[in-house]
Amino acid sequence: MTSYQLDDDGVVVIIGSGAGGGTLANELAQRGIEVVLLEAGKHLTADDFVNDEWGGYEMLSWLDKRTSSGTWRVAKDHPLTPSWSCQVVGGTTTHWSACCYRFIEDELRARTVYGEVPGTSLIDWPITLADLDPYYDLAEAKMGVTRTNGLPGLPANNNFKVMYAGAKALGLNVSTGRHAINSVPYDGRPATIQDGFTITGDKTGSRWSTLNVEIPRGLATGKLELRSSARAVQIEHDGAGKASAVVYVDAAGVTHRQKARAVVLAGNCVESSRLLLHSKSGRFPDGLANGYGHVGRHYLRHLIQTVWSVFDKPVHMHRGEIMGGMIDDFVRHDPARGFAGGYYIEMNSMGLPTTAAFMDPGWWGRDFASVIEQYANMAGIFMSGEDMPQAGNRVTLTDEVDAYGVPVANIHYDDHPNDLKMRVHGYKTLTSIHKAAGAKRSVEAPAYPASHNLGSNRMSARPEDGVLDGNARAWEVPNLFIADGSNFATGGACNPTLTIVALAIRQADFIAGQMSAGEL
């Protein structure tokens, strides 16, 4: 096993081993660059995972306290867990449902295409689809995304048959979609056995994750050292204002200081913004890279919601891959709909435990009971839509500190009128699809804790509009990078992981190029 010294200032230190950090670690190691990968969580294996919704949640989730405020319903339903990510080697790629869709060109030019939307802080991305497309190609190949590179789509399951029947009756464009889940054996990993538990860790390895693909390959190069149960608490800089070390606490509670040639934050939105805000100094009094005050701001979490419907006959939606269905008719921005941006419709299924918990938190009594006891006859359909960036929707630090001495984060989110219009449009569409398939009753479930966390350290074309340049490098700290969804300039509509991975591969090229040129 490769092991670097704490005072080795030639290593790139990456904080977080999920889609962005785990991919970047491997990509840098493949280019011969020495990397220390810090992960706050444990190094679990497929054998540790369980086919159990609550068991998996408790094993994988980042459960440290957070607080929430604002008009979003999550602040009422899940006040101390407003955002959901994982604390484990592999990060949130141990949990995800593997939907892999690309941003469309218009989404990368949101400010130009949508025009001025009052109350928002919309900008265009500093990069274009032409910049991203080659990296989407690489990401899809490494992840084994279905319907790319000759790989077949996932087969239709019971829940999809319902979605298909309804969508076809309404003339919508429906397929099982594109997923980083093997429909056939690929890249040494087996085809799915349709166990239905992709979000509690993947026991068979049919789904791509950084745990089962990127990190082992990075380690095999001899250039990557993984330190698990290593909780980063501060980023330090030198007299020239460059990031110089990461302070972290190991499983025994011992504090270490790892020197660094460059530092990459990839801890998901909340933790990456929190670490920057906490890393204050005389030179950076409001937190690292926060000279323009954008760190933590413009937080996005997508317009996520589900409709659960009850049918006369059994569906058994829990059988098989959970999100193998997609409708893309509403993705493009269409001013005639009365709101900016678009949304994907996707299939959704959950087991009985989480269907009951998230269908409408707080709902009880005979009506609820009459719905949930028909679980076997229920189908689920879901949307992921673009929410509007607002400067006041943000991650901040509270006065309370955690066990590591770092302030607990608060997440503030107010719904924008555009969000409400899109949510209403989406609920109508989702319900109409199920009605067209014969639904007896449809229940509009609200958003659950945010899992598409985006935008709180955004890229921008001008330093005064964001935190990062087009390579997700901090405007103010030339050897500090971000490789998680917090670097998104706007949210787009699609599930973000594919784009996080594509951006990480692109960033690896940039970092390697800078190093070769003696610039980093």
Residues that bind other proteins (CB under 8 A): 50-55, 152-153, 155-158, 160-162, 164-165, 174-176, 192-197, 203-204, 312-316, 318-320, 351-353, 355-357, 361-362, 364-366, 368-369, 372-377, 437-438
Nearer to other proteins, 372 or 515 (CB): 372
Nearest distance from C-beta of residue 343 to other proteins, angstroms? 21
Nearest distance from C-beta of residue 80 to other proteins, angstroms? 11
Nearest distance from C-beta of residue 152 to other proteins, angstroms? 7
Tokens 């040494």 belong to: 188
Nearer to other proteins, 221 or 377 (CB): 377
On whether the CB atoms of residues 486 and 455 are closer than 8 A, the answer is yes
Nearest distance from C-beta of residue 41 to other proteins, angstroms? 19
Nearer to other proteins, 47 or 116 (CB): 47
> Torsion-angle region of residue 357: left (phi > 0), alpha (psi -120 to 50) or beta?
alpha
Nearer to other proteins, 41 or 320 (CB): 320
Nearest distance from C-beta of residue 318 to other proteins, angstroms? 6
Encoded amino acid at 430, one letter: L
429: helix, strand or coil? helix
- 3-state SS, one letter per residue, for 336-375: HHCCCCCEEEEECCCCHHHHHHHCCCCCCCHHHHHHHCCH
Q: 176: how many CB neighbours lie within 10 A of its CB?
A: 23
Strands (E) located in 98-238: 174-175, 224-227, 231-237
Helix-helix angle 129-143:497-516, to 10 degrees: 110
**DSSP one-letter code for 199:** B
Nearer to other proteins, 54 or 519 (CB): 54
Interatomic CA distance for residues 453 and 124, integer angstroms: 19
Nearer to other proteins, 126 or 144 (CB): 144
Nearer to other proteins, 188 or 362 (CB): 362
**DSSP one-letter code for 104:** P
**Pair of tokens at residue 106:** 């218009």
Nearer to other proteins, 125 or 375 (CB): 375
Nearest distance from C-beta of residue 3 to other proteins, angstroms? 32
Interatomic CA distance for residues 459 and 81, integer angstroms: 26
Nearest distance from C-beta of residue 361 to other proteins, angstroms? 7
Any alpha helices (H) in 341-479, and if so which ranges?
Answer: 352-358, 366-372, 417-436
**Pair of tokens at residue 246:** 């990461």
Nearest distance from C-beta of residue 93 to other proteins, angstroms? 19
- Going by their DSSP bridges, the two strands 224-227 and 174-175 should be labelled as unpaired
Nearer to other proteins, 253 or 362 (CB): 362
Nearer to other proteins, 155 or 241 (CB): 155
Nearest distance from C-beta of residue 201 to other proteins, angstroms? 11
Nearest distance from C-beta of residue 498 to other proteins, angstroms? 21
**The dihedral sign for the CA sequence 322, 327, 332, 336:** negative
Phi, psi dihedrals of residue 18, rounded to the nearest 5°:
-85, -150
59: helix, strand or coil? helix
Length of the chain equals: 520
Rg (CA), the chain: 22
Nearer to other proteins, 83 or 200 (CB): 200
Nearer to other proteins, 169 or 512 (CB): 169
Nearest distance from C-beta of residue 147 to other proteins, angstroms? 10
Nearest distance from C-beta of residue 144 to other proteins, angstroms? 17
On whether the CB atoms of residues 123 and 461 are closer than 8 A, the answer is yes
On whether the CB atoms of residues 30 and 22 are closer than 8 A, the answer is no
Interatomic CA distance for residues 439 and 309, integer angstroms: 6
